Chains A and B, each alone.
Chain A
Amino acid sequence: MMQLSEELTSTENRVAFARQAFNDSVTSYNTACEVFPASLIAGSFGFVRAGLLEIEAAEREAPRVSFT
């Protein structure tokens, strides 16, 4: 049971961290595109804003597991 809950936690974390790492990269990319010297040419070379990976609050909830 302990091991199961450990694996569940780990899996939840992996999903969350993957999303977070993605969003961090997107944010730093977007910032790089908007900072001064790059911002002048970024648009004309096709570097457009990237979108963040948003997840509904309901999906973010960890599934409940009960041991009965």
Chain B
Amino acid sequence: MKDFFARQEDARRQSGRLLMFFAMAVIGVALAVYLAAAVARLWLLAENGAAVGFWHPQLFLWTTTGTLTFVAAASLWKISELREGGARIAAMLGGKPVPTFTQAPQERMLRNVVEEMAIASGMPPPDLYLLERERGINAFAAGHGVRDAVICVTRGAVELLSRDELQGVVAHEFSHIRNGDVLLNLRLMGWLSGILVVSQAGEMILRGMRRSSGRTAGAIFAVAAALFAIGYIGYFFGQLIKSAVSRQREFLGDASAVQFTRNPTGLSGALKKIGGLSLGSRLEHPRAAEVSHMFFGNGLEAAWLHALDSHPPLDERIRRLEPGFDGRFPAVKPLPPPPSEAAAHVVRPAKAPPESVSALSGVAVAALLERVGEPMQEHIDLARRLLSELPESLTDASRNTFSACAVVYGLLMDADPAVRKEQEQLVEAHDSGAAAVELRRLLPALDGIPSQVRLPLLDLSLPALRSLSPDQYLRLKETSGALSAADGRESLFEFTLRYLLLRHLEPRFFPLTSPRPVQIYGIRGVRKECSCILTTMARVGVRDENAAQGAFARGAMVLNEPKLDFHFLPAVECGKSSMEHAFAILESTSPLIKRRLLAASLECMIHDRIIKIDEVELFRAIADALDCPLPPWLDLSRGESGVTH
């Protein structure tokens, strides 16, 4: 038996030969077109009685180069059309991203397996997606290269395979990425459709000249019919070759998987389970056919002709790994069907929170965090601890679309019982009685949580809130506005919360036409807005005006623009509307300005060595407005600075 290196070499050589055949097929199409044209020419000239040869260099040059450019242009166009990022394909098939720090044991295992294979194959770990609704055992890799690759695994594979078997499957997909199979397949598909265009051209000509007659028309008719036939014949052979290439790449993938895992039984076990499972590797998603060539096992029903299968038969694949295989597949009990669409909708946002934990790594923020001298891992641990300390009723509520609205209302509740009474009535009036009841149920738990987790709780609720209907969203927007204005003034927390809420949900319901481009590159143009932000920040930290000016001066110094003066603005000029205005303008500044402004705000905040929760919340809002999402727990790991409420 050949070892896996020799088998890889075989598969590479085979697919290289097949690719040569494919190129020959394309050239063959061009030659056939010349042949058709030459015959038509002979026929036309024969009428005049002139003796002409079959060989006509000029005609040959024109038809072959014409056909080849035509095919090449069509295929390039098709390739650029097919060139979708891996993430989009994964999303198209209903894939759900698996977060880096997932807690679910099976997702954790999958994540680990992928990272191990990344080490074994010497590639960066690709993004990982889970097809939650697919019960068959399958997986695929997509993306054009190592850098934007994704790996997608079905739920059936994760739940039915053992760890070793899953590892074999993942290793196989890694091999597809490393050997550039995805791109190869994309190109072959492009060229195939290029060949098909030849026959489409023939068809178009045929249609266009249905009513004309005469000898010339007859010749054109014949050529068009020939084009039509040539295109289809070429397409058929191209398809045959492409399937053969695809099968060779599968063998290559299997052999490389053994190289990466050094464990052929894992991979062969997975293949056997596919054979034993009644669903096999089939996919249920309606659009699976478009990407069937990328899968670990056959994603569709077997083709009518084995030569057209994109994957080699299972027992042949197993026999290459395990020569003694007797062809008997173990029976595997299929998974129960996934929950209905509506139930899945409620469950899915529940998985999202860990994602917000892993989204900490904005470059600017990392730099800022370094300035404060706090390692990232601590934040993550802290975040986990904070979240685990939240009462279960609240974490549950934040995952449910209906209760999440009540959570938002609850966060906006005033401490004063009289105002609170009024606010409850507002909820009833603007939203519904049921929402008020839910609010009353959650209030005791909400009052019990420490103030630094109030905004994180909002973050947790966002995924659920995204699945509101537009009507419900408008109601939430209106009610929360009324609530925050209930006591006659809008506190900073209320402003921050509403700002974050609307900022994250508004685009979901009323999409912007396009993301705002960077328009402002100099800090001079946004002097006033910067001053507004820094003044507000400075004022929040301290009560007395002098200290605020001191903090402001420190912040302005960090902006490091000696030629410009930033003015400490009177309180009237930094109201809610001017803040919102400043945020809107600063959003379109260049990343460099954003970064400096963030650093300056941070300096304002830590100027007096006491960090208040209000300051942190405002800082989060600023960071968010500048598109630099920030971990909410910035202050908490700094025990010595203390958190004052």
Check A17/B259 contact, CB under 8 A, given A6-B108, A7-B112: no
A-chain residues with CB within 8 Å of residue B163 when the two chains form the complex: 9
B105 touches A3 (CB 8 A): yes
CB pair A21–B120 under 8 Å, yes or no, is yes
Contacting pair A25 B116 (CB below 8 A)? no
- Among candidates A2, A10, A20, residue contacting B262 with C-beta atoms closer than 8 Å: A20
* CB of B115 to closest CB in A, whole Å: 7
Restricting to B610-631, which residues have a CB under 8 Å from any CB of A?
A: none
Query: Which chain B positions have C-beta within 8 A of A7?
Result: 112
Cβ of B228 within 8 Å of any chain A Cβ, yes or no, is no
**CB-based contact A13/B122 at 8 Å:** no
Decide: A6 and B112 in contact? CB cutoff 8 A: yes
Instruction: Tell yes or no: A60 within 8 A of B by CB.
Output: no
Residues of B within 8 A of A10 (CB): 109, 112-113, 115-116
Q: What residues on A are CB-neighbors of B191 within 8 Å?
A: none
Note all chain A residues with C-beta closer than 8 A to B260: 17, 21
| Contact in complex: B122, A6 (CB < 8 Å) | no
What residues of chain B lie closer than 8 Å to A21, measured between beta carbons? 119-122, 260
Given known pairs A7-B112, A9-B163, A10-B112, the reply for A2 and B119 (CB within 8 Å) is: no
Asked if A25 and B122 sit within 8 Å, CB to CB, the answer is yes
Q: A3-B105, A24-B259 are in contact. Are A17 and B112 (CB under 8 A)?
A: no
A17 touches B108 (CB 8 A): no
B27-41 to A contact mask, C-beta < 8 Å, 1/0: 000000000000000
Rounded to whole angstroms, the CA-CA distance of A10 and B110 in the bound complex is 10
Q: Which residue of B lies closest to A6 (CB)?
A: B109
Neighbouring B residues of A55 by C-beta, 8 Å: none
Contacts of A57 in B (CB 8 A): none
Which residues of B are found within 8 Å of A49, using beta-carbon distances? none
**Residue among B105, B112, B262 with the highest chain A CB neighbour number at 10 A:** B112
Closest to A25 in B: B122
Residue of A nearest to B109 (CB): A6
Which B residues from 149 to 181 make CB contacts under 8 A with A?
163
State A10–B116 Cα separation when bound (angstroms): 7
Check if A2 sits within 8 Å of B105, measured CB to CB.
Answer: yes
A35 in the interface, Cβ–Cβ < 8 Å? no
How far in angstroms is the closest Cβ of chain A from B178?
11
Whether the pair B112, A18 counts as a contact (CB closer than 8 A) is no
List the B side residues contacting A6 at CB < 8 Å.
105, 108-109, 112
Query: What band does the interface of chain B fall in when counting residues whose beta carbon is under 8 Å from A?
Result: 10 to 19
| Residue in B105, B108, B116 whose beta carbon sits within 8 Å of that of A13 in the complex | B116
Count of interface residues, chain A, beta-carbon cutoff 8 Å: 14
The reply to whether B105 and A17 form a contact with Cβ atoms under 8 Å apart is no
Of all chain B residues, the one with the shortest Cβ separation from A7 is: B112
Find the B residue at minimum CB distance from A9: B163
Nearest Cβ in chain A — how far from B6, in angstroms? 12
A18→B120 CA distance, assembly (Å): 6
Task: Using known A-B contacts A9-B163, A20-B262, determine if residue A14 contacts B108 with beta carbons closer than 8 Å.
Answer: no
B117 on the A face (CB < 8 A) = yes
Q: A13 CA to B263 CA in the complex, in Å?
A: 12
Query: Quick check: B119 and A14 within 8 Å, CB to CB?
Result: yes
Whether the pair A14, B116 counts as a contact (CB closer than 8 A) is yes
CB distance B116 to A17 under 8 Å? yes
Docked Cα-Cα span, A20 to B116, in Å, equals 11
A62 to chain B, nearest CB (A): 14
Shortest C-beta distance, B388 to chain A (Å), equals 15
The chain A residue sitting closest to B112, CB to CB, is A10
Q: How far is the CB of B37 from chain A (nearest CB, A)?
A: 45
Contacts A6-B105, A9-B163 given: A20-B122 contact, CB under 8 Å? no
CA distance A21 to B262 in the complex (A): 11
Q: Is the CB of B108 within 8 A of A3?
A: yes
Q: Are B109 and A17 in contact (CB under 8 A)?
A: no
The docked-state distance in angstroms from the alpha carbon of A10 to that of B118 is 12
- 22 of the cross-chain contacts (CB-CB < 8 Å) are A3-B108, A6-B105, A6-B108, A6-B109, A6-B112, A7-B112, A9-B112, A9-B163, A10-B112, A10-B113, A10-B115, A10-B116, A13-B112, A14-B115, A14-B116, A14-B119, A17-B117, A20-B120, A20-B262, A21-B120, A21-B122, A25-B122
A residues adjacent to B (C-beta < 8 A) = 2-3, 6-7, 9-10, 13-14, 17-18, 20-21, 24-25
Binding site for A on B (CB under 8 A): 105, 108-109, 112-113, 115-117, 119-122, 163, 259-260, 262
The 3 closest A-B pairs by CB, nearest first: A17-B120, A10-B112, A13-B116
